[in-house]
Amino acid sequence: MLIHRVIIAGAGLAGLSMAKSLAESGRAVTVLEARPRLGGRVWTVSDRFLNGAYGELGAEFIDEDHSRMRGLVAKCGLQTVRVLERGFTQRYRGDDGEFEVSRTRGWTELADALAPLVRDYKAAHGAADADRVRELSTFSVRDWLHRRESPPHVHAMADAMRGFFLADPDDLSALQLAAEMAQGGSPAQTPVYRIIGGTGRLVETLATATHARVLLQHRLEAVRHSPDRVVCDLLDENGHRQQIEGDALVFTIPASTLANVVITPALPHEQWRAITALRYGCATKAVVQTSGDLFGGRSARAFATDTDAGAFWDASEGQTAGDAMISFLAGGSASGALVRRLREGPDLLLSDLCWLGRGRPSVVARASAFWQWEQDPLARGGYAYIDPGFDSAWRSLLRRRAGRLVFAGEHTSENYQGYMEGALESAERVVGEIGH
């Protein structure tokens, strides 16, 4: 199949990195982006903060084993800094209703509760279409904890994982947590890195380096595909309808918004079912610039909680401004609760952290910004997660090619769903499929 003219829907990391590679191989590449900015769910904000400080309202961390991300950052001439070296400490309610604080105990007890599922997952070698693995995906984490008659503090620890999976234990498939545990070790203790100057610098560098044509504020509304071409119907920033034709179309937009694109002829039923069944986690990301160090010199600089504050951490490392910054990520049902608290004022949110015991009450908010991703019409959530209604055997359908229609994005990644690394993995796969 001859593919010279490639259309890419979405100018996030997957779309931009793919566009750069395909353009370098001699393809005529056009990137369509409905937003007025590049980056998608990568979004570094600086204009809302003082003294040159910045905050990440989207993707932020690079894990140590994310070789594609680390390689791309280095290739783009950017630098990373290791941050939060002690990892995340968990704070959750004990059986008596009082809060417990621990780096490892909560995760260990949660892992013990799910140990039978982890054994089944490993025995099936994690094969998504294995009967036992498919069975694991049919009930939630909460269901399993009830079956095990787990005590309240184990349920609370599962609630504290909302900042990682962006889903409450009632909604998260037991399979997804079992798969995470099968990798060994708590994700809260994984070494993580941040791009100095902000993740947005990677987006800017990719956009500058690519020879692809990028059309901002061009929303893809419909696609007609045939054995020899694809035709895209667009709506531009002025409300005018346009058409663009190519030899292949690559979707990198989230499945949550892909479901709104009219595709003719329709995708196979089972593939469309998988796309429309995939859920995206409710997620609010907030950054508060403060007048001093809220952590008061603590060695622990990041916490995952079962409260409405969600997870929060020191966001100052790697910042050249030297100002104190704190980031919050509330997932699942905590997302809306965090938004309500933020609208009352960031100082009230900081007051909720008085249990840190240091720096308060003298530390006040100087500036803040937040974004509620489930309310974003072009994302409708933070990133993909697996719920009990999603059959694990459907995972491969999310990335299955349909003639001249190709699918990418973090949700299609085999190994890194939900990560920037997953976006790059999917882009690498597509370039291999159509770029040579």
The model's pLDDT over 66-76, given as tens digits with 9 standing for 90+, comes to 999 999 999 99
Burial class (CB in 10 A: 0-12, 13-18, 19+), 243: exposed
Whether residue 354 has pLDDT greater than 90 = no
* 105-188 maps to CATH 2.60.40: no
List pLDDT tens digits, range 104-119. Answer: 899 999 999 999 999 9
Instruction: Give residue 184's pLDDT.
Output: 77
| Spatial separation of the C-alpha atoms in residues 260 and 265, rounded to whole Å | 15
The kind and range of the H/E element at 433 are helix 420-434
pLDDT at 318: 82
* pLDDT the model gives residue 213: 97
What would the CATH number be for the domain defined by 5-41+200-278+387-434? 3.50.50.60
Indicate the range of 43-57, 194-208, 318-332, 393-407 predicted with least confidence.
318-332
pLDDT score of 360: 55
pTM score of the predicted model: 0.95
Which helix (H) or strand (E) covers residue 285, if one does? strand 283-290
Determine the Cα–Cα distance for residues 150 and 393; give it in Å rounded to an integer. Answer: 29
Q: Which residue has the higher pLDDT, 159 or 294?
A: 159
Beta strand 262-264 pairing with 219-226:
parallel
Q: Which percentage of the chain shows pLDDT scores above 90?
A: 88
Domains in the chain: boundaries: 5-41+200-278+387-434, 44-65+191-198+280-375, 105-188
The two structure tokens encoding residue 393:
């055997």
- Residue 361 pLDDT more than 70? no
Under 8 Å between Cβ of 334 and 341? no
Q: What is the DSSP string of 206-264?
A: HHHH--SEEEET-EEEEEEEETTEEEEEEE-TTS-EEEEEESEEEE-S-HHHHTTSEEE
pLDDT tens-digit series, residues 297-337? 788 999 999 999 999 999 998 887 777 999 999 999 999 99
d(CA 242, CA 347): 47
Indicate the pairing of strand 405-407 with strand 248-251: parallel
436 pLDDT band, cuts 50/70/90, is low
Could you give the C-alpha distances from 202 to 25, 72, 99, in angstroms and in order?
Answer: 21, 9, 39
Per-residue pLDDT, 435: 60
Separation CA 35–CA 429 (nearest Å): 25
The whole-number average pLDDT for the span 220-235 is 97
CATH of span 44-65+191-198+280-375: 3.90.660
- At 90-144, the pLDDT tens digits run 999 999 999 999 988 999 999 999 999 999 999 999 998 899 999 989 999 999 9
Mean pLDDT of 76-88: 95
CB of 90 closer than 8 Å to CB of 160: yes
Q: How many C-beta neighbours within 10 Å does residue 284 have?
A: 27
Q: What's the whole-number average pLDDT of the chain?
A: 94
